[in-house]
Structure 1
Amino acid sequence: MRAAPHVLIVDDNRELREVLAGFVRSLGCEVTEADSGTTAVTLASRRRPDAVCLDLWMDGVSGLDVLDQLRRDHPGMPVIIITADPLSDTMQEAQARGAVAYLAKPFNLEQLRGALVSAVGSWARPTRDS
């Protein structure tokens, strides 16, 4: 039996991070949470998650800089950008730097599920509405 995928969720908004973590756990994943880009880089090296959900705008560090460092340190690790910035220029920049998906807040949790399934495979449990 395959181990549950491990997802690192990075957002400086604790409430949103906890909602996302709860949803991702409900899909059958193991979750690690980080409240900053610096913590995310450290945890990614220690825990080696199967995917990262990364807020683009956090206090103290740009999510794009964190994305760059994650791509350098862990080239195959899929990173899904989650942000309040719906601008296509920002989306294109994130994708050019290696993000596998870009979700603009507010988004439907099923969009996150779809991005995670695309990133790490069809492991996720169906939700009640699926």
Structure 2
Amino acid sequence: MLLIATIDPILRKNLQQTLTERGDPFLLLDEGENIIESVLCHNPSLVVVDLYLTQPSGLEILRQLREKGFSGKVVVLGGQSNQSLAPEASQLGAIQIIGRPFNANQVLGAVRVASGDLD
């Protein structure tokens, strides 16, 4: 299962359409949803978290997941305004950081690489 948490409604819509067409199991979350609890409950094989989340921040979500024992793969969606957070995200185990601007295909490409699904 793939869990994606992003503030971008257009990205969520595009990912939902593509992932549904591919038949991949997924959960898309917006800011304010119980992201940490959802990850711990569903134990996805891959989490994509947006650093632009604010309550809690994407970096705080990653930090709390690691503190609570989640050891799964994490890809981070970043941007120019939070480039300085990339080293900390890497230290917390983010396997890839995708900088803005990006589109759904770039995110899905990163998901495929992180999942080892390169067919």
- The answer (yes or no) to whether the contact 1:10–1:37 under 8 Å persists in 2 is no
Pick from 90, 100, 112 the counterpart of residue 117 of structure 1: 112
Change (3 A) 1:25 1:100: farther
| Residue number in structure 2 paired with 1:64 | 59
Structure 1: stretches of 5+ with no match in the other structure: 1-5
Aligned to 2:46: 51
Give me the TM-score of the superposition, normalised by structure 1: 0.75
1:81-100 to 2 correspondence within 5 Å?
81-85=76-80, 88-100=83-95
Q: Percent identity?
A: 27
Secondary structure of 1:52 counterpart: strand
Q: How far off its partner does 1:28 sit? A: 4.0
Structure 2 residues without counterparts, runs of 5 or longer: none
User: Aligned residue pairs: how many?
Assistant: 119
Query: Are residues 1:8 and 2:10 paired?
Result: no
Residues 78 and 100, structure 1, Cα contact 8 Å, conserved in 2: yes
Once the two structures are TM-superposed, the CA of residue 68 in structure 1 deviates from its matched residue by 0.8
- Alignment root-mean-square deviation, CA: 2.4
In the alignment, what sits opposite 2:34? 39
